[in-house]
Amino acid sequence: MIDITEIKDDAFHDSLRRDFTFNSLFYNILENKVEDFLKEGINDLKNGFIRSCASTNQKIDFDSYHILRMLRFASKYHYTIDDKYLSDIEQNIKIYQNDLIDKISKEIIRKEMYLIFSTHNPSFAIYSLYKLDLLKYVLQIKSTYKINKKELFSEKEILKCVNIFIVGEKIFDKYHSLFEDENYNNNYMCSFYSLLLTIHMKNFTDKSNSSLTKTILSKTLKLESRVPLKIVNFYDDFINFFIKNEYNRLNVGLILRKVLFPNISIIILISVAYEYVMKINPNVVLDKLDEDILENIFQKYFEFYKFVKKENMENIDEMKPVIDGKRIQKEFPGIPLNYLGKLIDEEIKKQIEIKYKLSEEEAMNVIKAKIEELNANINNKNKE
């Protein structure tokens, strides 16, 4: 199939309206050759150089979509960006900011962020968006949340975020093959980097903006599943689990039910990247990692993964109670509604402990014992 584009003028003037010189090339099907009307496209493609057609045309097209594409190409292919193009962007940054708010569709932003996060070098794009003062506009935070007196995106915290991305890129390449039965595709990469960004964003933005992470995940990145949001909200619990080192089947099962993601490797790799940067605490962009420290951190989390596999707990979040809420209400008429969740939790705990082999009779005994405990607690409080 040949992609046909209708043009208003001749091919030369059409090429002037393209974003980058290497995207302004035409293929002449009659003469079987590539046409480079701007005289720079082929060389820029060979040399890995991103140059705006505006630098040739002297007519700037203030389109933020081009900036996102520029950063995607630079991230994916490690291309160099023309200093003049960057200077043009910086001089007209207010126009690009307003363009992101008022003109560029959210779907285009989502698509480009997906493609950026599907590369192996998204840290470059994140840091570049910050340096250009466009990151909060791309993430659609500026128009939704008021900025407190403290800077929403400080240099220190963005540097930390970039380094977490750099470590994430490294450990993904180094370790992802160790995880069995994982589906590594563009969706996996996008989920990994989206959560890496959002978890860190949660830590240095205004804590009162409880829906900030939901905005980034659902509106900007379009990860609408409840599972990614669940991971972000309970990530601190996951880290505390490792700090307490209470390593047994019940505790592992309970933390998995809180934060389990279809790809367990994602939350493990995120945790390794985050812990490494917190431990090293660099004040510059990392260009070299301490392999010994990285390996030690990784092995700590990988032991968790091996335990989950050994105990066959990958799908534990799908486990249902043997006796559900309706059945409990039927068996125990008049039971307070605030008991139901606690009774079901007690069932689930028992199922985890005995590897899901809980009979109805055993489940009923667990429920009766818990009801007696709850009633006793209430009676003791009333006496006091």
Q: What is the pLDDT of residue 124?
A: 93
Predicted confidence band of residue 214 (pLDDT cuts 50, 70, 90): low
CA distance 329 to 324: 9
The number of distinct structural domains making up the chain is: 3
Residues 302 and 334 in one domain: no
Partners of residue 27 on adjacent β-strands? 34
Give the pLDDT confidence of 60-99 residue by residue, as tens digits: 667 899 999 999 999 999 999 999 999 989 999 999 999 9
Same-domain check for residues 54 and 177: no
The DSSP call for residue 52 is B
Query: Is 144 domain-assigned?
Result: yes
User: What is the pLDDT confidence band of residue 299, given thresholds at 50, 70 and 90?
Assistant: very high
Q: Are residues 304 and 282 in the same domain?
A: yes
**What pLDDT was estimated at residue 148?**
44
- The encoded tokens of residue 383 equal 């006496």
CA distance 49 to 43: 8
Whether 208 has a pLDDT exceeding 80, the answer reads no
Distance CA 93, CA 97 (A): 6
> Is the same domain home to 199 and 65?
no
Q: 39: which DSSP letter? A: S
Average pLDDT over residues 125-146: 78
Domain C-terminal end among 285, 317, 349: 317
Residues 133 and 226 occupy one common structural domain: yes
- Do 42 and 175 belong together in one domain? no
366 and 271 together in one domain: no
Q: Take residue 159 and report the two structure tokens written for it.
A: 């540097």
Region 295-323: what's the mean pLDDT? 91
Together in a domain, 33 and 177 = no
- If we measure between CA atoms, which residue out of 308, 282, 276 comes closest to residue 295? 276
Same domain, 326 and 310: no
pLDDT digits (tens, 9 = 90+) for 360-383: 999 999 999 999 888 888 888 777
Is 70 exceeded by the pLDDT of residue 332?
A: yes
Q: Residue 93 domain-assigned?
A: no
Contact predicate 257/315, CB 8 Å: no
pLDDT of residue 334: 85
What letter does residue 139 receive in the DSSP assignment?
T
Query: Tokens 């429920």 label which residue?
Result: 367
d(CA 267, CA 194): 12
In a domain, 64, yes or no: yes
- Residue 94 domain-assigned (yes or no): no
The three-point CA angle 269-115-126 to 5° equals: 65
Return d(Cα 20, Cα 80) in angstroms, integer. Answer: 12
Total residue count of the chain as it appears in this document: 384
**Band (261; pLDDT cuts 50, 70, 90):** low
Q: Rounded to two decimals, what is the model's pTM? A: 0.81
Do 250 and 210 lie in a common domain?
A: yes
**258-to-71, 254, 304, 322 alpha-carbon distances in Å:** 35, 7, 15, 19
pLDDT digits (tens, 9 = 90+) for 145-176: 444 434 556 778 788 889 999 999 999 889 98
H helical segments located in the chain: 11-16, 41-47, 53-57, 64-77, 83-91, 93-102, 106-117, 122-131, 135-138, 155-175, 186-204, 212-214, 226-244, 249-259, 264-280, 291-310, 325-331, 337-353, 360-383
**Residue for token digits 């993904």?**
172
Amino acid at 208: S
343 shares a domain with 307? no
Q: Is residue 71 part of a domain?
A: yes
Mean pLDDT confidence for 87-115: 89
The domain of 241 spans 105-317
Question: Does 308 lie in the same domain as 297?
Answer: yes
Which range of 195-199, 228-232, 340-344 scores highest in mean pLDDT? It is 340-344
Mean pLDDT value across residues 247-276:
87
DSSP line for 238-289: HHHHHHHT--SHHHHHHHHHHH--SSHHHHHHHHHHHHHHHHH--SS--S--
End-to-end CA, the chain? 82
Strands 80-81, 49-50: parallel, antiparallel or unpaired by DSSP? parallel
Residues pairing with 49 in the sheet: 80
In the chain, the amino acid numbered 29 is I
Mean pLDDT of the chain: 84
Residue 96 in any domain: the answer is no
At how many degrees (to 10) do helices 291-310 and 264-280 cross?
150
What is the CA angle 334-340-344, rounded to 5?
140
